[in-house]
């Protein structure tokens, strides 16, 4: 299985307003089949005041810029007819400040009391988590516009279960559970919560976003289905950039026994794109080769297959979600123009048409994607041997009678399979 992350607003416009939408995704089915992807992960589809949609105003709606519920149902039908699955991003930790719950049900949120340190900050960047309002201070771990839901209120828990069941009833195959470790301030309580969520959803293809130690990510994967492999993500980039197998070797040892429980990735909407950290085409092809020979589920962020650049800025996160370059001029029918491309600019050779006509990076990645489609057993394979020396890293992937030895040369950026 190969998963492809689509940032809807930037991908393809299906109605001529310059904004990516659900009809545009339907119109892109031949491209998804060309890549050989098995599932799409859509960033939030719900009504929201932001460009990214992670602050949900209404969990039971489709953002009108993207279409309506009929469009969404059509998308599911088209995907399923083509044998593909759909994963939708579901931010349940917080809502939009414009969600009617925040206006009408303050008991659904977390409020400071006389014992609260309202100067508390986030551990990773020291930004305040408590925000003043006319009702007092409310908690918003991810910012003032993202008030945290209070899952100590049974009604909020019930609402979350209802939301998941609703979308599963629409035919969604699974969910990316955003900020999964932040529901409670305790992993054990979180795991019990997610266990009930998944049971209510009747399983599905679910993945938890948990940026933490490997043993923590593994526990969430055991409950939800999968976790994103942040351990290998950072180490893989570091090893390629430094031409040193050691960081990746050490990371693989940490996740060796659980690697098939992970969604492995090279970049996403929350980090600098692969091509900006690793501009060399040979080195990027090498990174893709590693991704597509590791057990677990490989995830491709839209445009990475074209070498789209983009430097992540937490104060300007739209920088990594430039419009998808279908054509070199980026203004043909289907192109999105909701923002000016900051990094992936016109006439720089990033477009699908240019790369297909000129044997660009896309056509070279296609060979690795075809390999992974043929060897789909790798998703649930084991890492049975890992060692490194003299600039090389070797691992063996095996399942039952099948086995492939992968030799990575971090000096020449060559990959040998045997």
414 forms beta bridges with: 409
Q: What is the pLDDT of residue 204?
A: 82
DSSP 60-87: TS--TTT--HHHHHHHHHHHHHTT-EEE
Instruction: State the maximum Cα–Cα separation within the chain, in Å, rounded to a whole number.
Output: 66
Residues 6+ apart with CB under 8 A from 417: 293, 404, 405, 406, 407
Q: Could you give the CA distance from residue 62 to residue 71 in angstroms, rounded to a whole number?
A: 9
* Closest among 267, 216, 224, 262 to 380, alpha carbons compared: 262
Yes or no: say if 147 and 95 are a contact pair by the CB < 8 Å rule.
yes
Is the Cβ–Cβ distance between 301 and 269 less than 8 Å? yes
Token pair recorded at residue 372:
């992974």
Distances (CA, A) of 312 to 177, 236, 298: 22, 18, 21
SS (H, E, C) 356-396: HHCCCHHHHHHHHHHHHHHCHHHHHCEEEEEEEECCEEEEE
- Residue pair 146/55 in contact by the 8 Å Cβ criterion: yes
Other C-beta atoms closer than 10 Å to the C-beta of 249 total 20
The answer to whether 418 and 407 have CB atoms below 8 angstroms apart is yes
pLDDT, tens digit (0-9, with 9 covering 90-100), for 25-58: 999 999 999 999 999 999 999 999 999 999 999 9
Q: What is the pLDDT of residue 202?
A: 77
Tokens of 246: 């050691």
Report the candidate in 386, 408, 413, 306 with the shortest Cα–Cα distance to residue 350.
306
Residue 26 CA to its chain's centroid (Å): 20
Residue 409 CB contacts under 8 Å (≥ 6 apart), including other chains: 391, 392, 415, 416
Q: Could you tell me the sign of the dihedral formed by the alpha carbons of 54, 57, 63, 68, in that order?
A: positive
User: Which residues neighbour 73 within 8 Å (Cβ) at sequence distance 6 or greater?
Assistant: 170, 171
Q: What is the pLDDT of residue 201?
A: 79
> Residue ranges per domain, the chain?
3-95+152-380
pLDDT of residue 333: 87
3-95+152-380 CATH fold? TIM Barrel (3.20.20)
User: Can you tell me which residue has the tokens 């310059």?
Assistant: 18
Q: At what angle do helices 246-255 and 214-224 cross, to 10 degrees?
A: 40
> What is the distance in angstroms between the CA of the first residue and the CA of the last residue of the chain?
22
Cα–Cα distance for residue pair 383/404, rounded to 1 Å: 10
Render each residue's pLDDT in the chain as its tens digit; 418 residues: 999 999 999 999 999 999 999 999 999 999 999 999 999 999 999 999 999 999 999 999 999 999 999 999 999 999 999 999 999 999 999 999 999 999 999 999 999 999 999 999 999 899 999 999 999 999 999 999 999 999 999 999 999 999 999 999 999 999 999 999 999 999 999 999 999 999 987 778 999 999 999 999 999 999 999 999 999 999 999 999 999 999 999 999 999 999 999 999 999 999 999 999 999 999 999 999 999 999 999 999 999 999 999 999 999 999 999 999 999 999 988 999 999 999 999 999 999 999 999 999 999 999 999 999 999 999 999 998 999 999 999 999 999 999 999 999 999 999 999 9
- State whether the Cα torsion 212-201-299-355 is positive or negative: negative
H or E stretch covering 402: strand 402-409
**Active-site residues: which are they?**
178, 209
Ramachandran angles phi, psi of 57, nearest 5°: -90, -25
Residue 399 in 3-state DSSP? strand
> C-alpha dihedral over 312, 314, 318, 321, to 10 degrees?
40
| E strand or H helix that includes residue 132 | strand 130-133
């Amino acid at each position: 299985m190969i998963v492809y992350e689509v940032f809807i607003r930037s991908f393809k416009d299906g109605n001529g307003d310059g904004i990516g939408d659900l009809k545009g995704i339907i119109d892109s089915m031949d491209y998804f089949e060309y890549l050989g992807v098995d599932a799409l992960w859509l960033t939030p589809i719900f009504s929201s005041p932001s460009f990214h949609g992670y602050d949900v105003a209404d969990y039971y709606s489709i953002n009108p810029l993207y279409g309506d519920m009929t469009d969404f149902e059509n998308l599911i039908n088209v995907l399923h007819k083509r044998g593909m699955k759909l994963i939708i991003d579901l931010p349940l930790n917080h809502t939009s400040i414009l969600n009617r719950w925040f206006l009408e049900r303050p008991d659904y949120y977390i409020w400071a009391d006389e014992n609260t340190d309202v100067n508390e900050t986030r551990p990773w960047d020291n930004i305040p988590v408590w925000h003043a309002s006319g009702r007092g201070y409310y908690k918003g771990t991810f910012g003032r516009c993202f008030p945290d839901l209070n899952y100590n209120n049974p009604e909020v828990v019930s609402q979350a279960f209802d939301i998941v069941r609703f979308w599963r009833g629409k035919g969604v195959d699974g969910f990316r559970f955003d900020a999964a470790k932040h529901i409670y301030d305790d992993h054990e309580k979180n795991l019990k919560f997610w266990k009930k969520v998944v049971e209510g959803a009747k399983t599905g293809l679910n993945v938890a976003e948990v940026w933490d130690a490997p043993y923590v990510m593994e526990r969430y994967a055991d409950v939800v289905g999968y976790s994103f492999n942040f351990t290998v993500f950072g180490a893989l980039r570091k090893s390629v950039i430094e031409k040193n197998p050691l960081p990746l070797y050490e990371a693989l040892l940490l996740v060796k026994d659980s690697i098939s429980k992970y969604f492995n990735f090279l970049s996403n909407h929350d980090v600098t794109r692969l091509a900006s950290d690793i501009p060399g085409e040979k080195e990027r092809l090498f990174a893709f080769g590693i991704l597509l020979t590791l057990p677990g589920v490989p995830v491709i962020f839209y445009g990475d297959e074209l070498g789209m650049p983009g430097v992540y800025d937490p104060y300007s996160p739209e920088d990594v979600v430039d419009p998808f370059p279908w054509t070199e001029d980026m203004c043909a029918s289907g192109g999105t123009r909701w923002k000016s491309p900051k990094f992936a600019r016109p006439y720089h050779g990033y477009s699908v048409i240019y790369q297909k006509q000129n044997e660009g990076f896309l056509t070279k990645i296609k060979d690795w994607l075809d390999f992974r489609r043929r060897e789909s057993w790798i998703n649930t394979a084991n890492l049975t041997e890992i060692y490194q020396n003299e600039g090389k890293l070797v691992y063996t992937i095996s399942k039952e009678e099948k086995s492939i030895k992968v030799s990575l040369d971090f000096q020449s950026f060559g990959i040998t399979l045997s």
